[in-house]
Amino acid sequence: MTMTEFAASHTDTREPILKARNLVKTFGRVVGLDGVSLDLYPGEVLAVIGDNGAGKSTLIKCLTGAEIPDTGELFVSGQQVHFKRPQDARVHGIETVYQNLAVSPALDVASNLFLGREERLPGLLGSVFRMLDTKGMRTKAKQELTRLGISTLQDVTVPVENLSGGQRQAVAVARAAAFGSKVVVLDEPTAALGVRESNQVLQLVRDLRDRGLPVILISHNMPHVFDVADRIHIQRLGKCAATITPQSHTMTDAVAIMTGAATA
């Protein structure tokens, strides 16, 4: 029995929240994804690792609506979906934190949390004059931060560019995890951070999982991956080379599979 089969049989008693089957994505003559499948179960952290150009980012973009796969199927809670834009994925509760920190630096924390889903005032002010409910959004932003246990962001009126790297990442993660999302996808969340800030973000990932929110974590950093992941999906040359767990394999094994020196 291969490792992939083992992992599958180990968990297939539950319905995956997010299921991808045979995703293919090409860019001209370059094959980004070559038939990749992936399952994400409730309350787990699934890490996706792979060398540069192995298709990690393309896979994530296909899962989150940023790219449209050429062929393949996507299911959310067992229901087939077709994402054409990031909003479509958001509607289905899949929220993404991108590597380049998709926050607007000049806007404050609350505005960033509500960016693209602003709430208007009730009554005529909201419907006719389309006025934003700034106060209400700030209050809700605070509540959500408290609920998610993010203590580094107390003042939601601070422009994001005045925050440290870890705090910005916390804003991005909070936006993804807030407002009833089902899946949080984190693309290299610790790549630009220092040691202490990385640990804060990893703790945040564990907290999200402990609150029952499944997380997909894309990372280059093996210690981080082995620290928080429950399962590890290894991409190689546009395909899934193996799905392992931190218990079944060592970091050296994972690197060997990633580089093609070994198979699972």
Partner 1 sequence: MTQQQTAGPPSAGHADLAEEFLDRQTPLSRIRNILHRYPALSPAFVLLIAVVVFGILNDRFLRVENLSLITQQVAVVGTLAIAQTLIILTAGIDLSVGAVMILSSMVIAQIAVSNGIPGPLALIAGLAVGLGAGALNGFLVTRFRLPPFIVTLGTLNIFVALTLLYSGGSTVRGSAMPGVLTWLGSTFPVGPVRISTGVVMMLLLYVVVAFILGKTAWGRHVYAVGDDKEAARLAGIPVSRVLMSVYLAAGAVLAIGAWIQIGRNNAASPNAGVDLNLDSITAVVIGGTSLFGGRGSIWGSLLGALIVGVFRNGLSLAGLDVLYQTLAVGVLIIVAVSVDQWIRKVKS
CA angle (206, 13, 235) in 5-degree steps = 60
Q: Are 170 and 152 in contact (CB under 8 A)?
A: yes
Of 10, 82, 117, 211, the residue at the interface with partner 1 (CB under 8 A) is 117
Half-sphere exposure of 218 (CA within 13 A, CB side): 23
CA distances from 51 to 21, 26, 236, 254, 256 (A): 22, 18, 7, 11, 11
**Per CB under 8 A, 159 contacts partner 1:** yes
| Neighbouring C-beta atoms of residue 63, cutoff 10 Å | 26
For residue 107, state whether it binds partner 1 (rule: CB under 8 A): yes
Q: Does 122 bind partner 1 (CB under 8 A)?
A: no
Q: Which of 10, 14, 85, 206 binds partner 1 (CB under 8 A)?
A: 85
143 binds partner 1 (CB under 8 A): no
Binding status of residue 102 toward partner 1 by CB under 8 A: yes
DSSP state of 162: G
Asked if 45 is part of the footprint of partner 1 (rule: CB under 8 A), the reply reads no
The interface region with partner 1, picked from 44-52, 98-106, 214-222, 235-243 by CB under 8 A, is: 98-106
* Alpha helix segments (H runs only) across the chain: 3-11, 56-64, 86-91, 109-113, 124-127, 134-147, 165-177, 195-210, 222-228, 251-259
Stretch that binds partner 1, among 37-45, 51-59, 96-104, 220-228 (CB under 8 A): 96-104
103 binds partner 1 (CB under 8 A): yes
Task: Name beta bridge partners: 202.
Answer: none
182-221: which residues touch partner 1 (CB under 8 A)? none
Q: Which residues of the chain form contacts with partner 1 (CB under 8 A)?
A: 66, 85-87, 90, 96, 98, 100-107, 111, 115-118, 120, 129-132, 134, 138, 142, 151-157, 159, 161-162, 164-165, 167, 175
